[in-house]
Structure 1
């Protein structure tokens, strides 16, 4: 190639390519900046800040990321672990383990710790979800890159998504979902059913290890879309049956052998459970919430949570967006088949998300039954929160928003077209600007004493024994124990913990943490109130039996804990052992009680 040819390429083709891809690069860069903005308080001190709204969930995900890295280094079973809830263990597949991102991020976790890995995960999940939605919209549905950008931004940073980013990144990991939906739509293409089926299967396999609930919701949403499309375009649907069925069969044939064992382990393996507590299966949305600005948006505030909030704000879109949605439906209903489909599907899922009974202004109306009652005990559905059906609504709104922003400015309507475009731009701005996310709050993580971080515990604990913390970890107390385990790479076993496991007292229905014992109850009472009755012989026998069951080596109390002095007295009375102050914690060496193996 001559010099002139090289110069021609440098001055001609390269700028053209850059110019063609510049809108995409701007969109992806903006999404990344917005994700960094939302996670800014965490990034300000990666090892020194965690979610201020859901710190216990945040720490739980530290543990899942640490587990994924440990399973690679130690060749452990990635689907099960006895490093938490020793000796019974935790069914990793039956929990929100995010192995699909934890394993790829294992090098980051091993080099920098789970805190940094978590921040990387959360930031890329937010930006990546918006980016893949933008890609699908801009390449397959709309002509306007700006319209695709707005649809992608809403999908990746919707108020409900950002709310989950406060400690639940598995519900932010939506970057595969637009690609899965695209592949489902492409199954109808004649002559490409084999390729499309294989790609769909691999995407489904990956998503299963990110968030099964969202995968299930995506499947339900796709079924609803297919049904609506078939009803609206029956002739086209009939022509697509053969390639669709062939591609679907390929997807099932490829995915089944890959997922059979993990799914079997989840539902029948050790520490599996049957369903979730009824409280969550009935957890519907409040109608008022649709018109309310979410806490983590520019227009949102915390006090409103006291009226209608529970723990999730999936449907908190704000009144302007609800009004804009109605306008978009009116303008697009006759002009776009995809708009009609997502309108019907989104409306249906919004109604189901209200739960079994009407809720209004924070109060449930049991006298007003809703459609969810018909489905709440169906297979798979009984494991779901009805409130989270709103994620399908979010996807439908993202598509409708992109379609409307692409088509409406080009509509030939009475009056000045320029004035109408300005009015449309103003309406979109009024609806979307208030729900731009604010930086999520951050707080200091649980204190990690030098006894733990410097390895002082190694003088007492081996692979056969556990390190017991006071208070014992659960979904409400003892967060430090899970944190200590995570930041040390899970080098020691801990009894109890924060996870979903079977409730032995309720027939194996899922519960948070292990089934409570009498010793648990006693220490929880001390931690909460600072008071307890005199320890009895029965209390000591129960405590000794549990220490032996846990194969405990030491009991550790951080003196910075709330009511540490009362807890120290309680543990001393229960064990009959005087603690030693080692480095910066109180330590009870109980090996002589457990197995007579003192040092």
Structure 2
């Protein structure tokens, strides 16, 4: 039988197994996805949005590493978000013709086929037979890791074919370096990098282990060392040149501005595996009893042939155990370690090692048996591996959306959409999926790493729309944003209220309430048992917002007449806070009016816990002006008195029973 025919049968075999393992997905590829429901589906909505975002960005000739469709009007950088660009590019034609759901399913089925085939090729490079290599591909591709992350919608992890495909390309370079083979290795490594930062870290770790073995086995001379290092340095150097401007430099800049990478030892420990997890079917780290047994046989019977894979597999297993067992503590000192959050995912390297060693074990067993038993033995092993890796659950979920989003998509007037209530369970994830339908910006969203964003839960406009019966004061110690100014700032055109939510006493606002809260003319565009939707018509406000300020914690109620409204600080120890979000970077002035109770007192003014100034406040209202440089991010402005305050009722019975220290009459930002 020709090699081409053998490879065709191998691919068809994995395709058949993929259809069986995911059944009944094959009959619902246009409407359903292999996902759990509820919280398990959170990542599904995000991953569908990712595919749509990459497709539309590339179609428009824009970088996919930024979006203005989430967190409008400012948008967000996506360098640390798992876009899985490699997979999205492959799915582009399917997205263009059939949409994101068929594309997602195409990637899911394809990942089983290509993951198995990649390990098959890898085992063949290590002189394993076609039979044992096919079984090794099964062990890897139909593992608990693969099926489990598919159910959890971790696209960057279940598209796990790119890692072994890079290994295959690198092995070919090791065997006989050439320009063509080096080019393929570079392309394979780029495919890994643009698919998953996790897998990129694992590719680097694998390469370093292999280089270590290669250098240890070479004669100790500069010439031989250079010959061994030359190809890996070219692969790494060209890859670095490609990703430096596209990803790496922007990521370093973003990391310097936000602690998106830093994970504490305590946080990391929560996602470490237990030493017995590889034997427990209920975990994503389960290696399979049959596969593990065959790997042990391979270790025992092949002696030094599989030494590299033994070191890699055990080392990755040790790392997956997390900080408690030491090796991860050393690894965590490397800057690149912070690109990933969860040590349990190192187990994928152990899984590949186990699969290759299992192939060696199968061949070692078959050599000890007569040839006439080889087909039967292979069939029995295939059946045992299939039973061992058979998924206990194969859930399907049908993504649904209300027709109002298609109505919004067809509306020629552009503007943002706000799905309410925003604090209902999984609201932001649903909003991202609906955004793939209506193609309008949303002011909310969910990303894998935190980004500078407007704290919409605290914005007066959003709070009023969320709770229309909430009696928000028309004035306060800070400038109360005019409804139309806020509506215009967010370019808000559509409000969609879901009737059923897990929020108690949720009420859908009337048309009149919507108009009062937004300052816009509203019209109802949908009203049924599921939701009520409004369209807002307005002209841009003549008073553009320069900053958003909202009441924080630590204040007494607003008091005083219209011209002298003020709030006393309730807790002098912790101080009182205001939320501040500049709508643009600016050099500004913080204007304050303060008064002290009973006697002059000092108060610290802090911005994100950094002292701006210490003010000496008298018993008559005084004005203060502080220069302040503001970026476009969320701040906490804190007023912290030096003294604990005085209770007037202790000095004069019947007087104010509150503890009073400093009162704020005004806090405004002037550009």
Tell me by how many angstroms 1:122 deviates. Answer: 1.3
List per-residue Cα deviations over 1:380-404 (Å, max 9, x = no partner).
Answer: 1122221111111111111101111
Does the 8 Å contact 1:558/1:564 carry over to 2? no
Aligned match of 2:246 in 262, 283, 289?
262
1:206 aligned to 178, 187, 191, which one?
191
Q: 3-state DSSP class of the match of 1:587?
A: strand
| CA distance in 2 between partners of 1:380 and 1:274 (Å) | 13
Report the secondary structure of 2:532's partner residue. strand
| 1:225 matched residue in structure 2 | 210
Distance between the aligned counterparts of 1:176 and 1:126, measured in 2? 12
Deviations 1:437-474 (A, max 9, x none): 356301232x4111112346726x41xx3111113389
Give SS of 1:443's match: coil
CA contact (8 A) 2:133 2:359 kept: yes
Contact 2:29 2:105 in 1 (8 A): yes
Higher strand fraction: Structure 1 or Structure 2?
2
**Structure 1 or 2: more helix by fraction:** 1
Whole-angstrom distance in 2 between the partners of 1:555 and 1:467: 6
| Alpha carbons 1:556, 1:587 under 8 Å: kept | yes
Change (3 A) 1:456 1:354: closer
Q: Does the aligned pair in 2 maintain the 1:41–1:439 contact within 8 Å?
A: no
Is 1:141 matched up with 2:126?
yes
- Secondary structure (helix, strand or coil) at the match of 1:586 reads strand
**How well do the aligned residues superpose, as a CA RMSD in angstroms?**
3.9
**Taking structure 1 as reference, are residues 546 and 94 closer, same or farther at Cα in structure 2, changes over 3 Å only?**
farther
Equivalent residue for 1:404, pick from 361, 366, 371: 361
Work out which of the residue numbers 303, 310, 322 in structure 2 matches 1:343.
310
Relative CO higher for 1 or 2, CA cutoff 8 Å, sep ≥ 6?
1
1:329 aligns with 2:314: no
CA–CA distance in structure 1, aligned partners of residues 143 and 200 of structure 2: 18
The CA deviation at 1:120 is: 0.8
Q: Distance in 1 between matches of 2:427 and 2:317?
A: 35
Whether 2:225 is the aligned partner of 1:241: answer yes
Cα distance, 1:566–1:165 mapped onto 2, change above 3 Å? same
Segment of structure 1 superposing worse, 470-479 or 376-385: 470-479
The answer to whether 1:290 aligns with 2:291 is no
Q: Distance in 2 between matches of 1:546 and 1:42?
A: 45
User: Which residue number in structure 2 is paired with residue 466 of structure 1?
Assistant: 416
Which residue of 403, 406, 414 maps to 1:450? 403
8 Å contact 1:375–1:381 — kept in the other structure? yes
> CA offsets per residue over residues 286-312 of structure 1, 9 Å max, x none?
223222114xxxxxxxxxxxxxxxxxx
Q: 1:478 aligns with which of 428, 450, 456?
A: 428
Structure 1 residue matching 2:533: 3-state secondary structure: strand
Tell me the residue number matched to 2:506: 566
Q: Residues 118 and 207 (structure 1 numbering): CA distance in 2 closer, same or farther, change over 3 Å?
A: same
Structure 1 position 28, deviation (Å): 0.9
Distance 1:500-1:398 versus aligned 2 partners, 3 A rule: same
- TM-aligned CA distance change 1:196 to 1:46, over 3 Å: closer
Counterpart for residue 251 of structure 1: 235
CA distance in 1, matches of 2:462, 2:279: 44
1:24 aligned onto 2:7: yes
Q: Which runs of no fewer than 5 residues in structure 2 stay unpaired?
A: 544-671
Q: Residues 55, 495 of structure 1: CA spacing in aligned structure 2 closer, same or farther, 3 A cutoff?
A: same
* CA apart distance, 1:127: 1.0
Deviation at 1:195, TM superposition (A): 3.5
Structure number with greater Rg is: 2
TM-fit CA distance, 1:72 = 2.9
Matches within 5 A, 1:87-102: 87-102=73-88
SS in 2 for 1:287: coil
Q: What is the TM-score when the length of structure 2 is the normalising length?
A: 0.69
After TM superposition, the structure 1 = structure 2 runs for residues 61-460 of structure 1, keeping only pairs within 5 Å, are 61-138=47-124, 140-166=125-151, 167-189=153-175, 192-228=177-213, 230-231=215-216, 233-235=217-219, 241-263=225-247, 264-268=249-253, 274-275=260-261, 277-278=263-264, 281-282=268-269, 283-294=271-282, 313-319=283-289, 321-332=291-302, 334=303, 336-337=304-305, 339-357=306-324, 369-384=325-340, 385-411=342-368, 430=384, 433-437=387-391, 440-445=394-399, 447-455=400-408, 458=411
Superposition TM-score, scaled by structure 1 size: 0.76
